[in-house]
Structure 1
Amino acid sequence: MNARLRRIVTSAMALSLAVPLAACGKDQSDAGAKKESIGLLLPENKAARYEKFDYRIISRRIATLCLECELDYRNAQSVVETQKMQFEGLVKKGVKVIILDPVDAQAAKSWVNAAARKGVKVIAYDRLAEGDVAAYISYDNENVGRLQGQGIVAALGSRAATADVVMMNGSPTDPNAPSFKRGAHKVLDRKVRKIVSEHDIPDWSPDEAKRKMTEVINALGPEGFDAVYSANDGMAGGIAEALASAGIKNVPLGGQDAEVAALQRIIKGTQSFTIYKEVRPEAETAAEIAFRLLRGKSIASLTSTTVDSKSKSGIPAKLFNAKIVTKKNMKDTVVRDGVVRTDLLCVKDIAAACKSLGLE
């Protein structure tokens, strides 16, 4: 091959290689293109529901709604300052829609307002954050409290009118806690003899609930109360331990969230009921609203009511209803809906009790 021909062939080969390389370069650029992000900030991991259900359901729903979107998820682990940094980090990153379940609703006001001024849409999830939120998705929390009160009264039966009740309420920084408390009082104040001891438990801490219940037992004596209201299942677990340590049995104890450990206590008889708030419709609705806000679409069909916070009126909202779960209806509620599998629920020490309830 002469020198001239060699130069022609070499040039042709170089050109043929350059075309696919250029094409590959374009593909890599497209593949690395920044996805649109939706932020999800959950408050804590002491309650099993957040990591196990809320995050997973929201993530999957957004993935089906928006292939080009990604969910930027963080958990504050009950620390307000951590959540503030997480929130501000998302805004700085350019995230335009944030689903926020606040550790402290009042503390979130300044962040939410600052974000709203930059065009960021904040969806208050499960707890109503203060500030200029675009929407709110939760349950009718006062009604949840009423259901808890009704659960205590039903568990007491004919003893209710003469019963003394201890109340362990939720975290003072959670805006839902006063609603649960208010709803429970509307029932208990009319149906039982007296609330003999009442406490708010910071951060919904099971350990603090156990410690406080031990103090109540020491102060009132094992015969000094007839039932215990617990605002959620995590705290109910701590309370049940305190009761067991003191040798106290057959005292009605209620909770909320339908956690597996609580359902097992109900089967064992150390907890009387829980409140089942089906997470899936709440989480999926939050994802749907987030996607619509990201695309600038109306959310009117997903928000059937409005609510007012201390700082904003007429917030578009969707509020779901809850159910009491006891031994009698466990099969037809949480088991039927797939919240818990019976092989995971019915561990060895309660297998016989499960069988008697038809939980197989």
Structure 2
Amino acid sequence: MNTQKQLLAALAGFAAAALAAPAAAQDAATVAFLMPDQASTRYEEHDFPGFKTAMSELCPDCTVIYQNANADVSLQQQQFNSVIAQGAKIIVLDPVDSSAAAALVQIARSQDVKVIAYDRPIPDVPADYYVSFDNQGIGNAIAQSLVDHLKDAGVPDGAGVLQINGSPTDAAAGLIRDGIDSALDSSQFKTLAEYDTPDWAPPKAQEWAAGQITRFGNEITGIVAANDGTAGGAIAALKAAGVDPVPPVTGNDATIAALQLIISGDQYNTISKPSEVVARAAAEVTAAFLKGETPDAKTTLYDTPSELFVPAVVTQENIKAEIFDKGIQAPEDVCTGEYAAACRDLGILN
């Protein structure tokens, strides 16, 4: 009888240990946050800090590894393999090359590691989850905003615009391009020329835009640029060529530099999409996976359960309400030096 009691006690102990194991695994888990490039400052300034802060709340004892591949596909693969070797059970991946990332997802599957695609989708092999802003919606919104502005300004039908897309290896850039196309193709304006910017590099966008300015001159009545970096490159090319006034240029990301260009009147719009929003969502999905749960899918993209956030278009008309009144940026960080007077004119500064 004593032997039976001892056996039952032992089994109860094993059961308790088994139940405790997932919680212990979560408490001590290692997760990785792998970002694609340093062309944009957002990853170090917003995405990673947002993810780390959220993870510190959701899993205080988790170890978070951060790596940036600096637009190098091979380096990102090395980093991916390295964090698996360090015991990462969840990898949040913003791929340098969306096609090449398919192989990384397959590697993770073979190691029982979850992959959360972040910002840029992985079309060829479904990740375990995808979190992002609605990239196709972003493309449509910035282009439609420009189309409406040109129409309101009395720009004649048939006038020409340039289209500067993002990196050809970035599936999110392809979605943004599709959104831009949907707005421009249904508009009364024509696309003079179009460019896919390698690595989203602003100098490459600037170089291409300079060539188009020489080619088309004052036929260019607007430029749809897929993000603030390529917009800044286009604006620099226009200014270097002595174009005055600068035609309206779109953007995306609401970087401080872009907000300053909007305030000064050199850039027409951008997209407010606080990276911390997506970073927190990625952290919440990570925490759910660590608990052995299946995160709720708000939608599906590329056969991947997904959550896509809807961003806001920002122009001079609503920059105070969308950026400063909501606390996304502080006036003292944006309205510096030469921008202070324009900030006062817009009511951002007293």
Q: In the alignment, what sits opposite 1:141?
A: 135
Q: In the alignment, what sits opposite 2:3?
A: none
Q: Does 1:244 align with 2:233?
A: no
Normalization by structure 2: what TM-score?
0.88
Counterparts of 1:1-360 in structure 2, within 5 Å, are 35-129=28-122, 130-156=124-150, 157=152, 158-159=154-155, 161-220=157-216, 222-248=217-243, 249-300=245-296, 303-308=297-302, 313=303, 315-360=304-349
One-letter identity of the residue aligned with 1:231: A
Normalization by structure 1: what TM-score?
0.86
Runs of 4 or more off by more than 4 Å in structure 1?
A: none
Q: In the alignment, what sits opposite 1:25?
A: none
CA distance in 2, matches of 1:134, 1:154: 39
CA distance in 2, matches of 1:167, 1:202: 14
- For residues 287-323 of structure 1, the C-alpha deviation after alignment (integer angstroms, 9 at most, x for no partner) is 01011112212312xx211122xxxx2x211011011
Q: Flag the structure with larger Rg.
A: 1
Contact 1:39–1:95 at 8 Å: present in 2 too? yes
Contact 2:90–2:286 at 8 Å: present in 1 too? yes
CA distance in 2, matches of 1:155, 1:261: 22
Question: Structure 1: where are the runs of 5+ without partners?
Answer: 1-33
Contact 1:165–1:192 at 8 Å: present in 2 too? no
CA distance in 1, matches of 2:37, 2:188: 33
Q: CA RMSD in A?
A: 1.3
Sequence identity of aligned pairs in percent? 36
Question: Structure 2: where are the runs of 5+ without partners?
Answer: 1-26
CA distance in 2, matches of 1:160, 1:192: 8
1:132: how far off?
4.0
One-letter identity of the residue aligned with 1:170: G
Q: State the number of aligned residues.
A: 319
Q: Specify the SS of the correspondent of 2:88.
A: coil
Contact 2:249–2:267 at 8 Å: present in 1 too? yes
